[in-house]
């Protein structure tokens, strides 16, 4: 018997989930129900969940082995990424992305919780990359079916890092090739697996054709029809499936904003005609 209440927020993506206290250890049954909602709605939201860092880590660990953030792990809590802006030094503008996609095996699930939120602004937008794929015409779908694109650590854009650190990270995260059309390991759905933040070049195409194709695919992610936009409140939580959505933090605020994220390891991306393992949910 389902115990959760799930309220869809938009036709293609996003649902608000209630009926669970995420401070408590999840039973396998409730965890499976939450994961099923995540697979169906791609991003799910919870309100009024005042978790400690330890509870946040425990929650994330119910959905997979957590990874330390590759660039900025939090001191004393390496599994936590602090997403922090003091309202004066703005972070943005953001770029549509899938978390840490420059890793050879990019993450599966991310869970972000809100600690300090501006009175106005600072939403996060999420776009369904499966709906974006499905919106393409048949010729484009056929064209991209077996293409691969380069995914690059964005050293050029990271003005906050020293040249030495950039070089170190670029060496640690060399360019990886991913299928443009990824098969979701758990649902078998086709998803667009290129993102504006990290995907640079489609293998086998001339530079201009590659740029035009990527622009077309990025634009599908930006279509409002494929999106849900979440207005944070303190103690809100968003849990998203990086294999199915991309997201964009809207930088339109002038007060402090502080959130924290944990991120579960993923499985090696594979494309049409290939196979790979399902996401391993830990035994609870």
Please, which residue, 166 or 247, has the CB nearer to ligand SIN?
A: 247
Q: Does 43 bind ligand SIN (CB under 6 A)?
A: no
Q: Does 249 bind ligand SIN (CB under 6 A)?
A: yes
Distance (Å, whole) CA 50 – CA 114 = 9
| Catalytic residue flag (residue 97) | yes
Among 26, 83, 111, 151, binds ligand SIN (CB under 6 A): 83
What SS3 state is found at 197?
coil
| Catalytic residue flag (residue 69) | no
Q: Which residue matches tokens 């900025």? A: 72
Number of residues that bind ligand SIN (CB under 6 A): 8
Q: Does 124 bind ligand SIN (CB under 6 A)?
A: yes
- Choose the catalytic residue: 31, 69, 97, 190: 97
**DSSP calls for 63-119:** TS-B---SS-PBTTBTT-EEEEE-SSS-------B-TTTTSSS--SEEEEEEEE--S
Distance (Å, whole) CA 139 – CA 70 = 38
Q: At its nearest, how many Å lie between ligand SIN and the CB of residue 124?
A: 4
Q: Which residue matches tokens 């759905």? A: 189
Q: Does 259 bind ligand SIN (CB under 6 A)?
A: yes
- Choose the catalytic residue: 31, 247, 257, 279: 247
Q: At its nearest, how many Å lie between ligand SIN and the CB of residue 238?
A: 8
* Residues in 181-240 at the binding interface with ligand SIN, rule: CB under 6 A: none
Q: Does 80 bind ligand SIN (CB under 6 A)?
A: no
- β-partners of residue 66 are 264
Give residues with Cβ within 8 angstroms of 99, minimum separation 6.
106, 107, 110, 242, 261, 263
Please, which residue, 190 or 261, has the CB nearer to ligand SIN?
A: 261
Tokens of 3: 């115990």
Tokens of 265: 């390891």
Tokens of 195: 């993102």
Q: Does 261 bind ligand SIN (CB under 6 A)?
A: yes
| Catalytic residue flag (residue 247) | yes
The C-alpha torsion from 248 through 251 and 256 to 257, rounded to 10°, is -10
Q: At its nearest, how many Å lie between ligand SIN and the CB of residue 114?
A: 9
Q: Does 66 bind ligand SIN (CB under 6 A)?
A: no
Please, which residue, 144 or 249, has the CB nearer to ligand SIN?
A: 249
Provide the annotated active-site residues: 97, 99, 247, 261
| Footprint of ligand SIN (CB under 6 A) | 83, 99, 112, 124, 247, 249, 259, 261
């Amino acid at each position: 018997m389902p115990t959760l209440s799930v309220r869809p927020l938009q036709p293609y993506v996003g649902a608000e989930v209630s009926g669970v206290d995420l401070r408590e250890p999840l039973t396998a049954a409730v965890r499976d129900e939450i994961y099923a909602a995540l697979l169906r709605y791609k991003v799910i939201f919870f309100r009024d969940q005042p978790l400690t860092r330890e509870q946040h880590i425990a929650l994330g660990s119910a959905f997979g082995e957590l990874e330390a953030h590759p660039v900025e792990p939090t001191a004393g809590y390496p599994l936590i990424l602090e997403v922090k802006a003091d309202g004066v030094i703005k972070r943005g503008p953001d770029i549509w992305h899938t978390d840490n996609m420059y890793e050879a095996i990019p993450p599966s699930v991310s869970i972000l919780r809100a600690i300090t939120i501006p009175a106005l602004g600072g939403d996060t937008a999420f776009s369904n990359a499966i709906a974006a794929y499905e919106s393409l015409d048949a010729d484009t779908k056929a064209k991209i079916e077996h293409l691969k694109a380069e995914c690059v650590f964005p050293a050029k854009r990271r003005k906050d890092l020293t040249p030495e650190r950039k070089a170190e990270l670029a060496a640690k995260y060399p360019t990886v090739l991913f299928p443009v059309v990824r098969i979701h390991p758990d649902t078998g759905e086709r998803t667009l697996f290129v993102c504006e933040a990290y995907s640079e070049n489609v293998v086998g195409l001339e530079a201009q054709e590659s740029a035009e194709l990527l622009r077309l695919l990025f634009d599908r992610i930006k279509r409002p029809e494929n999106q849900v936009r979440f207005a944070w409140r303190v103690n809100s939580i968003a849990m998203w499936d990086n294999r199915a959505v991309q997201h964009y933090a809207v930088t339109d605020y002038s007060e402090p904003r502080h959130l924290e994220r944990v991120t579960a390891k993923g499985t090696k991306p594979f494309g049409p005609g290939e196979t790979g393992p399902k996401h391993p949910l830990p035994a609870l």
